[in-house]
Amino acid sequence: MMAAVEPSVIDPTLRDQLDIVIPTIRNLDFLEMWRPFFENYHLIIVQDGDPTKVIKVPEGFDYELYNRNDINRILGPKASCISFKDSACRCFGFMVSKKKYIYTIDDDCFVAKDPSGNDINALEQHIKNLLSPSTPFFYNTLYDPYREGADFVRGYPFSMREGAPTAVSHGLWLNIPDYDAPTQLVKPSERNKRYVDAVMTIPKGSLFPMCGMNLGFNKDLIGPAMYFGLMGDGQPIGRYDDMWAGWCVKVICDHLGLGVKTGLPYIWHSKASNPFVNLKKEYKGIFWQEEIIPFFQQVVLPKEALTVEQCYLELSKQVKEKLSTIDPYFTKLSEAMVTWIEAWGELNAPDKAGADMGPSKVGKKLAAASA
Amino acid sequence: MMAAVEPSVIDPTLRDQLDIVIPTIRNLDFLEMWRPFFENYHLIIVQDGDPTKVIKVPEGFDYELYNRNDINRILGPKASCISFKDSACRCFGFMVSKKKYIYTIDDDCFVAKDPSGNDINALEQHIKNLLSPSTPFFYNTLYDPYREGADFVRGYPFSMREGAPTAVSHGLWLNIPDYDAPTQLVKPSERNKRYVDAVMTIPKGSLFPMCGMNLGFNKDLIGPAMYFGLMGDGQPIGRYDDMWAGWCVKVICDHLGLGVKTGLPYIWHSKASNPFVNLKKEYKGIFWQEEIIPFFQQVVLPKEALTVEQCYLELSKQVKEKLSTIDPYFTKLSEAMVTWIEAWGELNAPDKAGADMGPSKVGKKLAAASA
Assign A359 a pLDDT band (cuts: 50, 70, 90): confident
Assign A8 a pLDDT band (cuts: 50, 70, 90): low
Whether A154 contacts A125, CB under 8 Å? no
Put simply, the answer to whether A197 touches B194 (Cβ < 8 Å) is yes
Please name the residues in contact with A357: beta carbons below 8 A apart, sequence gap of 6 or more: A1, A74, A96, A347
Once rounded to an integer, what is the mean pLDDT over residues B118-133? 98
Any chain B CB within 8 A of the CB of A290? yes
Residue A34 has pLDDT above 50, yes or no: yes
Give contacts of A209 with chain B, Cβ < 8 Å: 138-141, 153-156
Q: Please state the φ and ψ torsions of residue B36, each to the nearest 5 degrees.
A: -60, -25
- pLDDT tens column, A303-329: 999 999 999 999 999 999 999 999 999
Once rounded to an integer, what is the mean pLDDT over residues B158-168? 97
pLDDT at A367: 44
Q: Which of B154, B193, B198 sits opposite A209 (nearest CB)?
A: B154
Please name the residues in contact with A12: beta carbons below 8 A apart, sequence gap of 6 or more: A127, A131
Which pTM value belongs to this model?
0.94
Residue A107 has pLDDT above 70, yes or no: yes
Closest CA to B139 of A247, A275, A135: A247
Assign A271 a pLDDT band (cuts: 50, 70, 90): confident
Closest CA to A256 of A311, A318, A209: A311
Q: CA of A293 to nearest chain B CA: how many angstroms apart?
A: 8
- pLDDT tens column, B310-368: 999 999 999 999 999 999 999 999 999 999 999 999 999 876 555 567 888 888 554 44
Q: CA of B105 to nearest chain A CA: how many angstroms apart?
A: 17
Going through chain B in order, the beta strands assigned E by DSSP cover 18-24, 42-47, 62-66, 101-105, 109-110, 166-175, 199-201, 214-218, 259-269, 361-362
Q: Which of A140, A187, A196 sits opposite B197 (nearest CB)?
A: A196
Give contacts of B195 with chain A, Cβ < 8 Å: 197
Put simply, the answer to whether B203 touches A203 (Cβ < 8 Å) is yes
Q: Which of B141, B151, B177 sits opposite A153 (nearest CB)?
A: B177
Window 199-258 of A, Cβ < 8 Å to B: 200, 202-211, 239-240, 242-243, 246
Window 114-143 of B, Cβ < 8 Å to A: 115, 138-143
More confident residue, B363 or B86: B86
Assign A356 a pLDDT band (cuts: 50, 70, 90): low
C-alpha span between A101 and B334 (Å, rounded): 50
Assign A354 a pLDDT band (cuts: 50, 70, 90): low
Whether B12 contacts B126, CB under 8 Å? no
- pLDDT tens column, B174-186: 999 999 999 999 9
C-alpha span between B169 and B190 (Å, rounded): 25
Put simply, the answer to whether A208 touches B154 (Cβ < 8 Å) is no
Residue B77 has pLDDT above 80, yes or no: yes
Total H helices, total E strands in chain B? 11, 10
User: What letters, b where the CB count within 10 A reaches 16 and e where it falls short, cover B145-169?
Assistant: bbbeebbbbbbbbeebbebbbbbbb
Window 12-31 of A, Cβ < 8 Å to B: none
pLDDT at A13: 92
Q: Please state the φ and ψ torsions of residue B91, each to the nearest 5 degrees.
A: -65, -15
Once rounded to an integer, what is the mean pLDDT over residues B277-286? 94
A45 alpha carbon, distance to own chain's centre: 14
Give contacts of A87 with chain B, Cβ < 8 Å: none
Whether A106 contacts A28, CB under 8 Å? no
Total H helices, total E strands in chain A? 11, 10
pLDDT at B370: 41
Window 45-104 of A, Cβ < 8 Å to B: none
pLDDT at B352: 59
- In DSSP notation, A230-280 reads S-BTTSS--S-HHHHHHHHHHHHHHHHT-EEEEEEEEEEE--PPPHHHHHH
Residue A250 has pLDDT above 80, yes or no: yes
Closest CA to B207 of B276, B290, B294: B294
More confident residue, B5 or B235: B235
Q: Which of B153, B195, B282 sits opposite A209 (nearest CB)?
A: B153
Q: CA of B142 to nearest chain A CA: how many angstroms apart?
A: 8
Assign A364 a pLDDT band (cuts: 50, 70, 90): low
Going through B181-298 in order, the beta strands assigned E by DSSP cover 199-201, 214-218, 259-269
More confident residue, A272 or B262: B262
Assign B2 a pLDDT band (cuts: 50, 70, 90): very low
pLDDT at A371: 34
**Angle at the Cα of A206 (from A205 to A212), degrees rounded to 5?**
125
User: Which one of A129, A134, A141 would you mutate to disrupt binding with B, by most B Cβ within 10 Å of its Cβ?
Assistant: A141
Give contacts of A156 with chain B, Cβ < 8 Å: 180, 209
Q: Please state the φ and ψ torsions of residue A275, each to the nearest 5 degrees.
A: -65, -30
